[in-house]
Amino acid sequence: MSAIGTAVALWTLILIWPAPLSAEDAACCDPMGPFSAAETSARHPATCETIGAWIDRAPDGAERINLTISGVLSFVGRDDALAYLVMCPPDGVQILCVAYQTNGMQIGDAVVFGGGFSRAGPDRIILDPCLAYAE
């Protein structure tokens, strides 16, 4: 791995590493769930198997919340500015991570997403901004 790749991987890990549970997290989110206050990571990420049980339990309100989820990439794409990473099979809840780079990730890679939660339909979630790293 190049020095730049190593630096990107380390910064990604630092940015999404779970912080101690704050009062804001406790007020916003179930501490056993995959949601957390903005700019933090949940201690218990969802998976493709469990996100269906959590999607309707997302915290309400005007404040941004984050979702942390681990799973396998089912799509990797990009345009001139952004990367688009999709996790989970199409017959369930799918999560789109909008990031700046793919960091060499490929379909089938086990990854973790963490980012700003937005529900885009009954079975669709968008995380924007989103950080993704290999599991």
Range of the domain at 107: 3-134
User: At 118, which CATH number?
Assistant: 2.40.50
CA atoms in the 13 A half-sphere facing the CB of 128? 13
Question: Dihedrals φ, ψ of 60, to 5°?
Answer: -90, 160
pLDDT of residue 26: 52
pLDDT of residue 61: 72
Q: How many domains does the chain have?
A: 1
pLDDT of residue 50: 96
10-residue stretch averages of pLDDT, the chain, 135 residues long: 54 47 60 89 93 90 88 96 96 96 96 95 95 92
**What are the residues whose beta carbons fall under 8 Å from the beta carbon of 9, sequence distance 6 or more?**
1, 103, 133
